[in-house]
Amino acid sequence: MDTHAVVNQATALGDYNAFDSDPVLAAAAAREGAPWVAPQAATFGAAVGSRHVQELAYLANRHVPELLTHDAYGHRVDEVRYHPAYHELMALAFGAGVHSLAWTAPERGGHVARGVLSYLWNQAENGVGCPTGMAYAAIPMLRSSPRLADSWGARLAACGYEPGLRPVATKTCITLGMTLTEKQAGSDLRASTTRARRAGGADDDEYLLTGHKWFCSAPMSDGFFVIAQADAGPTLFLVPRVLEDGSRNRFFIQMLKDKCGNRSNASSSVEFDDSYAIRVSDEGRGIARAMEDAHYTRLDFAIGSAGLMRQAFAQALHYVRGRSAFGRAIAEQPLMQNVLADLAVESEAMLTLTLRIARAFDEAEDHASAAQLRRVGPPLVKYFVCKMAPAFAAEALECMGGNGYIENHPLARLYREAPLNCIWEGSSNMVCLDVLRALDRDEALLDTLLGEMRAARGADARLDAAVDALPDAMGQLDDLPFNARWLCERIVRLWQAALLVQYARPEVADTFVATRLGGARGTHFGAMHGHFPSACILDGALPM
Ligand SMILES: Cc1cc2nc3c(=O)[nH]c(=O)nc-3n(C[C@H](O)[C@H](O)[C@H](O)COP(=O)(O)OP(=O)(O)OC[C@H]3O[C@@H](n4cnc5c(N)ncnc54)[C@H](O)[C@@H]3O)c2cc1C
């Protein structure tokens, strides 16, 4: 129709390489000890940025999973049916080792390298980020169990995806979920009511569980880590979905949740009724064992939120570069440059810190200070990075005007996804309290953190002064739980500043210090005040 000429609409950001177009990511991977991941990351980055994967992500979130409780003849089956796009996405992510490269890497730097893949993957689709994150954390736990290392651990670490409910021994690769949250107890797992009793067979690590879990994501996984009360207290178990003889374990899916985002990934409520389980922790040590695992998922979800922010930023910048208003590209309008440069600096700071903490995982066996950072780093970034994601996604969405709010642009999905990483694996308050616990139990930890910040000493007087002021400021906090978020934010901002001053382009580091430490910024994105080299910041963040 003559009336319907389409002019001045931006093109889609499709068929681009999410790794090659991100010089900050390549530099961080090399600096933090995994330069060798670059070729693999470049191949994966091309897949992640392809129109095909973008379409799969759209379809998998549009056509949500369906629960099939019974078959046509009335037999209970407890299966979830997914759109084929979800299976293809799972095959891509698990095939590339997003879940396992840390544990299978041919050389040092495996956690950083896996972090790079996860950062890229979370730019493509976040629902699959749930099973990949759980697998990353579960592999070391399975490997530490003589009974489960070869059977479950090796198969979970394998690259590949084999859906379908069959005995684990008949599969080459598997997936694994973690279901801990009950109706009355999410943060406080000690209040779990699911009961465990010994099965009475020859093996003293075999139990029967009865109870429920209120949240159980990826319920078609081959098995689940579950907390239940044994005689000596909360204990961690592995519950297989299919038993060795091929029969189904007693695992009943009650419903699928109708979620705000993360819609490709089924999240369910389940019941156990004398369900077969293998004990993984000592009796009464289940929560401590599960918390060891949580460091991995917390790191991974922070990396995931950083990836989500990067994708939101890339989409927004590409869009405003391709659309004009008031006579020139929106990207060149001064106030929009303030918004975009602010987003770019934030995104770079998030990536830089999360990969620095991933390196601490690679070095924790050899250096005591790395072990300290491995302990405190995940809750710090889980709080701060994940917490920043919703505001960041909302701002990026607005850069695209009305189109940003429409479901067939990826920003709408990213926006609905963004709050989730704040909630699971320890919600914001819980991880901030965990940082306090870590500082309280290790008196030398604060010095190690200050050492990270002082590594940049002499490069920026504003940063030096802010770091020097931290111990006094902490000393004045007489009610620490009340002030825990403030403290975590301060530590993160100083650590990020120190890293950027050492490694980022000067215009990025200077803008960060001026606006995040020096007060040259209001509350929202785009409220930096002063003069900042925004065009230069943006050209370096996402080359045209
Ligand atoms: C989409 C989705 C998928 C999920 N999948 C899984 C899964 O697969 N497996 C699983 O086990 N769980 C899963 N969860 C559950 C999730 O881990 C919990 O919701 C989360 O741990 C919080 O528990 P809760 O909902 O019971 O909140 P509550 O424990 O009731 O907490 C409510 C609020 O109070 C705060 N709070 C609690 N105690 C304190 C305190 N002492 N001081 C200050 N603040 C406090 C919390 O931070 C939170 O903000 C999923 C959740 C979602 C949304």
Walk me through the domains of the chain, giving residue ranges and CATH numbers: 23-166 (no CATH), 176-284 (2.40.110.20), 289-541 (1.20.140.10)
- Ligand 1 atom with the smallest distance to the CA of 257 is 1
Backbone angles phi, psi at 468, to 5 degrees: -60, -30
Q: Ligand 1 centre from 430 Cα, in Å?
A: 9
**pLDDT tens-digit readout, 415-451:** 999 999 999 999 999 999 999 999 999 999 999 999 9
- Ligand 1 atom with the smallest distance to the CA of 423 is 20
- Ligand 1 atom with the smallest distance to the CA of 427 is 47
Identify the residue whose C-alpha is closest to ligand 1 atom 51: 424
Q: Ligand 1 centre from 212 Cα, in Å?
A: 16
Q: Residue 390 pLDDT more than 90?
A: yes
Q: Residue 3 pLDDT more than 90?
A: no
- Ligand 1 atom with the smallest distance to the CA of 259 is 1
Decide whether any atom of ligand 1 lies within 6 Å of the 138 Cβ.
no
Nearest CA to 300 among 436, 473, 120, 64? 120
**pLDDT tens-digit readout, 17-49:** 999 999 999 999 999 999 999 999 999 999 999
**pLDDT tens-digit readout, 457-480:** 999 999 999 999 999 999 888 889
**What confidence score (pLDDT) does residue 412 get?**
97
**pLDDT tens-digit readout, 42-83:** 999 999 999 999 999 999 999 999 999 999 999 999 999 999
Q: Ligand 1 centre from 435 Cα, in Å?
A: 17
Give me the torsion for CA of 485, 488, 491, 497, rounded to 10°: -80
CA distance 360 to 378: 10
**What confidence score (pLDDT) does residue 507 get?**
98
Pairing of strands 176-179, 223-230: parallel
CA distance 427 to 450: 26
Query: What residues have CB less than 8 Å from 377, skipping those under 6 apart?
Result: 299, 356, 357, 360
Q: Ligand 1 centre from 292 Cα, in Å?
A: 18
Decide whether any atom of ligand 1 lies within 6 Å of the 181 Cβ.
yes
CA distance 58 to 81: 17
Query: What residues have CB less than 8 Å from 433, skipping those under 6 apart?
Result: 481, 484
Residues 279/205, Cβ–Cβ less than 8 Å: yes
CA distance 234 to 509: 47
CA distance 29 to 13: 24
Q: Which two tokens stand for residue 165?
A: 């409910």
- Give pTM, 2 decimals: 0.98
Q: Among the residues of 63-128, which ranges form H helices?
A: 84-96, 101-104, 110-121
Cα 387 to its chain centre, rounded Å, is 12
CA distance 503 to 106: 27
**What confidence score (pLDDT) does residue 180 get?**
97
Decide whether any atom of ligand 1 lies within 6 Å of the 267 Cβ.
yes
Consecutive H or E run containing 274: strand 267-279
Q: Ligand 1 centre from 307 Cα, in Å?
A: 23
- Ligand 1 atom with the smallest distance to the CA of 426 is 21
Burial class (CB in 10 A: 0-12, 13-18, 19+), 318: buried
Q: Residue 1 pLDDT more than 80?
A: no
Biggest CA-to-CA distance, the chain: 80
**What confidence score (pLDDT) does residue 14 get?**
87
